[in-house]
């Protein structure tokens, strides 16, 4: 009897220890969540922030070939489908805001269960605001499809957390970042093969009107699905990428005028649109990320930022700036990857992404307004 009593007492003690351990761990996890303040990071956009969705599409736009990802520590340098040598701006921002995991690509087999609570990435190389954008690549996820996919995720959150907690988690703790628009110019309006009809029938202002009208609808759809904290990147100086400089045979310190003019025209109107959405959608905060000026500063003052070139791609082939053939196994690669603003003919290096991300996280209203991303997280 005494032995049974002792066993019973041991069992009860063990149960209490297990319960206390679970409570302690749960408490720590909850504390971590409260301290960090970030729920999920939902990333929409194009190849600047694609983390591998295009790996799962039959498309001509892919980055899951070496040496892409050579400096990406999480994969030990193997390609993941990121169009850069290391982390994207989205990866760096997630890390800095306290997320323990990178947002998982929606099309990846891993995007199930609790993995999605840290965030989901819907971005796709070649994607744009307009559905016709990027059709030169055969397949890509445009912004409309990316939101359709978020709708699926939204329902999964209800199942994982219950409708009330899910709504709270998405509305109050999660950040929606959108980096899109460059392909609508580079791989749509400015593309001679596909868009000569569009360009003859549509002035630049009419095309930009069309883009912004679509974008308004898309952002409103996300709002209707409980998105409240938004960061929207404007279009960078696309006339300064190595590809444009190479095909237009420019000098090192020159940029192609038309793409940059179009970007600036679109950007001015985008800022107005975000101001209207801030006024018209109750409880929403739309933050405007001034990517154009941040990238232009890197290009103009590259030496002050520790770079040796802002015109030559580190990985690529063709022409003076290695700007024609995308980065792949047969490409020539620079010796100092952290000293190039551009990784390939189109995309910034991880070193450039890091500078841009830090400005968006902690910078003043010249970089990001009305608040930076650290403030948006705690807002």
pLDDT of residue 296 exceeding 70, the answer is yes
Task: Name the residue with higher pLDDT: 15 or 120.
Answer: 120
Q: What is the reported pLDDT for 35?
A: 40
pLDDT for the residue 135? 87
Q: Which residues are catalytic?
A: 47, 344, 347
Whether 16 has a pLDDT exceeding 50, the answer reads no
How do the domains of the chain map onto residue ranges? 38-290
Could you tell me the pLDDT band of residue 260, with boundaries at 50, 70 and 90? very high
pLDDT of residue 138: 85
Cα separation of 360 and 374, whole Å?
Answer: 9
How far, CA to CA in Å, does 201 sit from each of 134, 189, 195, 207, 260?
19, 11, 10, 10, 21
The mean pLDDT value for 270-284 works out to: 98
Q: Could you tell me the pLDDT band of residue 13, with boundaries at 50, 70 and 90? A: very low
Is a pLDDT exceeding 80 seen at residue 186?
A: yes
Tell me the pLDDT band of 38, cut-offs 50, 70 and 90. confident
Among residues of the chain, what percentage have pLDDT more than 70? 88
Separation of alpha carbons 158 and 137, rounded Å: 35
pLDDT at 36: 46
Residue 193 has pLDDT above 60, yes or no: no
**pLDDT given for residue 198 in this prediction:** 58
Residue 26, pLDDT > 60, answer: no
> Which of 3.40.30, 3.30.450, 1.10.150, 3.40.50 would CATH assign to domain 38-290?
3.40.50
Question: What pLDDT shows up at residue 191?
Answer: 79
Q: What is the pLDDT of residue 21?
A: 40
Please provide residue 315's backbone torsions phi and psi, each rounded to the nearest 5 degrees.
-125, 115
For 56, 86, 313, the CA distances from 74, given in Å and listed in that order, are: 20, 9, 24
> Residue 312: is its pLDDT beyond 70?
yes
202 has a pLDDT exceeding 90? no
Q: How far apart are CA 54 and CA 126, in angstroms?
A: 9
Q: What is the mean pLDDT of residues 197-210?
A: 81
Q: Is the whole model's pTM more than 0.75, yes or no?
A: yes
| Residues in Cβ contact with 14 at an 8 Å cutoff, skipping those fewer than 6 apart | none
pLDDT at site 18:
35
Q: Give the tokens for residue 8.
A: 């019973």
pLDDT at 192: 64
Q: Which of 114-128, 182-196, 215-229, 259-273 has the lowest mean pLDDT?
A: 182-196
Q: Are 278 and 311 in contact (CB under 8 A)?
A: no
Least confident of 197-201, 204-208, 324-328, 354-358: 197-201
């Amino acid at each position: 009897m005494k032995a049974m009593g002792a066993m019973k007492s041991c069992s009860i003690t063990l149960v209490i220890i297990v319960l206390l351990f679970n409570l302690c761990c749960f408490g720590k996890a909850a504390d971590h969540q409260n301290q960090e303040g970030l729920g999920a990071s939902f990333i929409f956009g194009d190849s600047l922030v694609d983390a591998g969705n295009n790996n799962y599409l039959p498309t001509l736009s892919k980055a899951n070939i070496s040496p892409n990802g050579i400096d990406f520590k999480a994969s030990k340098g193997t390609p993941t489908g990121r169009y850069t040598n290391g982390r994207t701006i989205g990866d760096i921002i997630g890390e800095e805001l306290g997320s323990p995991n990178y947002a998982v690509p929606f099309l990846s087999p891993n995007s199930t269960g609790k993995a999605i609570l840290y965030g989901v990435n819907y971005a796709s190389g070649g994607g744009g605001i307009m559905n016709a954008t990027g059709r030169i690549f055969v397949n890509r996820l445009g912004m409309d499809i990316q939101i359709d996919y978020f709708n699926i995720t939204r329902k999964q959150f209800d199942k994982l957390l219950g409708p009330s907690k899910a709504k709270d988690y998405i509305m109050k703790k999660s950040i929606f970042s959108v980096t899109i628009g460059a392909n609508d110019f580079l791989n749509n309006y400015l593309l001679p093969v596909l868009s000569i009809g569009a360009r003859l029938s549509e002035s630049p202002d009419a095309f930009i009107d069309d883009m912004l009208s679509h974008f308004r609808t898309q952002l409103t759809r996300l709002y209707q699905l409980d998105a409240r904290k938004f960061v929207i990147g404007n279009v960078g100086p696309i006339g300064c990428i190595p590809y444009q400089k190479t095909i237009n045979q420019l000098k090192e310190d020159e940029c192609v005028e038309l793409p940059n003019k179009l970007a600036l025209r679109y950007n001015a109107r985008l800022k107005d649109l975000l101001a209207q959405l801030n006024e018209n959608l109750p409880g929403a905060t739309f933050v405007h990320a001034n990517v154009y000026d941040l990238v232009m500063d890197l290009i103009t003052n590259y030496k002050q930022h520790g770079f040796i070139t802002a015109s030559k791609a580190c990985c690529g082939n063709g022409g003076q700036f290695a700007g024609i053939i995308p980065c792949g196994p047969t490409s020539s690669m620079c010796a100092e990857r952290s000293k190039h603003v551009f990784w390939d003919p189109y995309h910034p290096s991880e070193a450039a992404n890091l500078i841009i991300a830090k400005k968006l996280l902690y910078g003043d209203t010249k970089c990001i307004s009305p608040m930076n991303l650290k403030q948006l997280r705690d807002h």
